[in-house]
Amino acid sequence: MATIEECRDALEKLSDNMQRAEGGIRTAAALDRSVSCHITDLDVTFAGRMAGGRIQVHETLQGPPREKAQIRLSMAGDDLVALVDGGLNFAKAWGSGRVKLHAGVRDLLLLRKLL
């Protein structure tokens, strides 16, 4: 089971990848939205903001998100690490329910380029 530190590192790596993106992926990464990532097996939520092509984690909270972020992810820690490292396909994980993503329709259309 991934630790809180490994999950935070995975989010940082995802943020770095977004910062280096080009083309349509860079456009999607440039959204300015509140974000939360609930790690279900650790019952921890990373809350922050996606802005300037980066994910900035402002808080690590015990339990589920306290506020409804504009972009919300929910998954096990091992799945987050595997997604970022390329060992887990997002579309398959989302389709099977291993990863949950909630956002507005317009944001979902842009975010699919990132995933």
Could you give the number of structural domains in the chain? 1
> Distance of CA 8 to CAs 3, 23, 46, Å?
9, 26, 8
Which pLDDT value is given to residue 23?
A: 72
Which pLDDT value is given to residue 50?
A: 92
Contact by Cβ (8 Å): 3, 77: yes
In terms of residue numbers, what domain contains 89? 4-111
Which pLDDT value is given to residue 68?
A: 95
Which pLDDT value is given to residue 28?
A: 67
3-state class of 5 per DSSP? Answer: helix
Distance (Å, whole) CA 43 – CA 28: 28
Which pLDDT value is given to residue 113?
A: 66
CA 1 to chain centre: 18
pLDDT in tens, the chain (115 residues): 999 999 999 999 988 888 887 776 667 667 899 999 999 999 999 999 999 888 999 999 999 998 999 999 999 999 999 999 999 998 899 999 999 999 999 888 777 766 6
Q: What is the spatial order of strands in the sheet that 54-62 belongs to?
A: 54-62, 44-51, 33-39, 71-75, 100-102
> Which CATH number fits the domain that encloses residue 20?
3.30.1050.10
Q: For the segment 11-29, what is each residue's pLDDT rounded down to a tens digit? A: 999 888 888 877 766 676 6
